[in-house]
Amino acid sequence: MKSLYRSSKKSKSQNSARLEAAQRLDVLEERDGYIGLGNQSGSSSAVNERHTRDLVSGVTRRRRYLDFLIQTYYKGKADSMEQRLKTVLRMGMYELLFTSTPDHAALNEAVELARDYVREGAASLANGILRTVLRNKDNLPVPAETPLETYLGIMYSHPDWMVKRWLGTVGKDATLKMLERNNERPVFGVHIVSGRDRVLEALEKANVAVTASELVPDFIRISSIQPLFRGGFFKDGSVRVQDEAAALVVHAMSPAREDSILDMCAAPGGKALYAALLMAETGKVVAADIHSKRLHLLDKNMELFDVSNLDMEEMDGTRPPDKWGEAFDKVLVDAPCTGLGVLSKRADMRWHREESDLKDLIQLQIRLLDGAAACVKPGGLLVYSTCTTEREENMGQVEAFLERHADFRLEPAPDIIPAGLRDAQGNYESRPYESDMDGAFAARLRKN
């Protein structure tokens, strides 16, 4: 496969984690951020990969604040700075300010990278700017005479509009907690499907701390999944990545033996697969989505986990086929949304969401809910879920749906959802500023 990255001259930095990170960050910049933050080229060793991923995701999270510092200490116009140099400065500042890397190592490596990856003359410029940051490390500048949303947006690296919304909806204290949470290194939720003892032993040998879920059986939280990749646990179907918040959305649907279930917006299929596993080879789960390429990511997992009660179908959920009219006991609409509850894991998303996206997404959610309503059997259940924090996409949509569909009623989440993860109406709601889980929402709508 042709490399995604531009070549640079050979040097002692050629195979370093920092060079790999710089290349990935520049590809993110060129492609507007819509590639994964994981290993794209496959060139990093297992030892370097974790460092590389931390640099890429960390710099992406802190980008606005790092650019504020660059603009402050660079004598020219930061907007006209060559991209490779800006990337090296962002990385150097991130390591100096937000990691445990020794100052001298972070500084020297950044200067060396500027020489090798940018050009010879860039090294002295990088050295001067980064040494200035280092001298002022305990007294760095802050934005002056700016609105609160701009001040917080710069200091915590979020768009102004996002901060302003949260200040207006959840208040300053909760907003600060959310901003801090979004900038933390994410933990990974893992479902241990089989071989629990082997999995835990491998993590212990790798010195990876494990926290068992108190809510969902066989789920754990870990800081790194690399030992599981290296141990082949993903390849043999022992484990799968899924956050507890997403697993609880499936439990909000109460999958039972012999159920017929439709997952209306299934791609890439994690929730549909978990529902099928919970049903223990009984009943039928249909994973449907309009995006066939993403949906077929489920193909490999169906074989890997030996799931026979799961089918896939390419389908526009706003216009379900007539054959699905009142055909399912339970329908899940895990709707496309702003995703503002998962910004810790999706570091790049904050820079690509616009407030104007909300209007279009709300309209799509309405059409999906109306399409799904026709597929639910009388007495059946429609579960509407998102991974956002915004009321307009959550309870606001539920209220509007009930006004349009008098044959449905709202009922509370099942007992597996604790009181601390319920809103005032009894719906499942995970708030990222109040728990270690992703943000999520799910409402149960019973058809009369």
Mean pLDDT of 310-320: 95
pTM of the model: 0.91
Q: Cα 158 to chain center, whole Å?
A: 15
In one-letter notation, the amino acid at residue 375 is: C
Q: What is the pLDDT of residue 193?
A: 96
| pLDDT score for 37 | 40
Coil, strand or helix at 402: helix
C-alpha closest to that of 164 among 366, 340, 363, 396: 340
CA distance 12 to 26: 20
Whole-number pLDDT of residue 48 = 79
Query: Which 3 state secondary structure label does DSSP give 412?
Result: coil
220/187 Cα distance (integer angstroms): 10
| Mean predicted confidence (pLDDT) in 217-238 | 93
| Predicted local confidence at residue 10, as pLDDT | 41
Question: Cis link prior to 143 (omega < 30° from 0)?
Answer: no
Residue 327 has phi, psi (to 5 degrees) of -100, -10
Rounded Cα distance between 94 and 85, Å, is 14
Place of tokens 């917080």: 152
Output the pLDDT for position 72.
Answer: 96
Q: Which of 21-25, 76-80, 186-190, 240-244 has the lowest mean pLDDT?
A: 76-80
- What DSSP string describes 60-102? HHTHHHHHHHHHHH-SS-GGGS-HHHHHHHHHHHHHHHHS-S-
Q: What's the CA gap between 99 and 96, in Å, rounded?
A: 6
Read off the pLDDT of each residue in 406-424 and give the average, rounded to a whole number.
97
Q: At what angle do helices 244-252 and 270-278 cross, to 10 degrees?
A: 60
CA distance 313 to 185: 36
Residue 250 identity (one-letter amino acid): V
Q: Which CATH code fits 17-135?
A: 1.10.940.10
* pLDDT tens figures, 259-274: 999 999 999 999 999 9
The pLDDT tens digits for 352-380 are 999 999 999 999 999 999 999 999 999 99
Q: pLDDT of 17-57, one tens digit each?
A: 999 999 999 999 887 655 454 444 444 565 578 889 899 99
pLDDT of 436 higher than 90? no
Q: Which of 265, 337, 375, 387 is catalytic?
A: 387
Q: Residue 267's pLDDT is what?
A: 92
**Per-residue pLDDT at 20:** 94
pLDDT band at 289 (very low <50, low <70, confident <90, very high): very high
pLDDT number for residue 15: 54
What span, in angstroms and rounded, lies between the C-alpha atoms of 107 and 109? 6
pLDDT of 12 above 90? no
Q: Select from 3.20.20.70, 3.90.1510.10, 3.40.50.150, 1.20.120.160 the CATH code of 244-447.
A: 3.40.50.150
Cβ distance 32 to 352 under 8 Å?
yes
Distance CA 54, CA 341 (A): 20
Q: Where are the beta strands (DSSP E) in 198-304?
A: 210-212, 219-222, 239-241, 260-263, 284-289
Selected residue with higher pLDDT from 46 and 440: 440
The DSSP bridge partners found for residue 55 are none
188-240 matches 17-135 in CATH topology? no
Please give the pLDDT value at position 32. 67
Tell me the percentage of the chain whose pLDDT exceeds 90: 82
Which pLDDT tens digit goes with each residue over 80-107? 899 999 999 999 999 999 999 999 999 9
The yes-or-no verdict on residue 108 having pLDDT over 60 is yes
Mean pLDDT, the chain, whole residue set: 91
Residue 313 has pLDDT above 80, yes or no: yes
Contact 297, 274 (CB under 8 A): no
Of the given ranges (247-256, 394-403, 426-435), which has the lowest mean pLDDT?
Answer: 426-435
The stretch 217-228 carries a mean pLDDT of: 93
Phi, psi of 285 (to 5 degrees): -115, 130
Token output for 281: 């080879």
Mean pLDDT of 399-404: 98
Q: In 3D, which of 87, 117, 118 has the Cα closest to residue 25?
A: 87
Q: What band does 297 get if pLDDT is binned at 50, 70 and 90?
A: confident
d(CA 431, CA 388): 9
Closest CA to 220 of 203, 237, 206: 203
Contacts 24+ apart (CB under 8 A), 415-422: 416/215, 416/216, 416/248, 416/251, 417/248, 417/251, 417/252, 418/215, 421/215, 421/248
Could you tell me the residue ranges of all domains in the chain? 17-135, 148-182, 188-240, 244-447
CA atoms of 403 and 380, how far apart (whole Å) = 18
- Cα separation, 43 vs 49, in Å, equals 9
Quick one: pLDDT at residue 80? 87
What is the mean predicted confidence (pLDDT) over 329-348?
96
Q: What is the pLDDT of residue 233?
A: 96
The residue assigned the tokens 């995604």 is 4
CA atoms within 13 A on the CB side of 296: 4
The superfamily CATH assigns to domain 188-240 is Sun protein; domain 3 (3.30.70.1170)
pLDDT at 201 over 90: yes
Q: How far apart are CA 286 and CA 310, in angstroms?
A: 6
What pLDDT sits at residue 298? 86
Over residues 408-435, the mean pLDDT reads 95
Is residue 375 part of the annotated active site? The answer reads no
Pairwise CA distance, residues 446 & 381, whole Å = 5
Distances (CA, A) of 149 to 59, 67, 131: 21, 17, 30
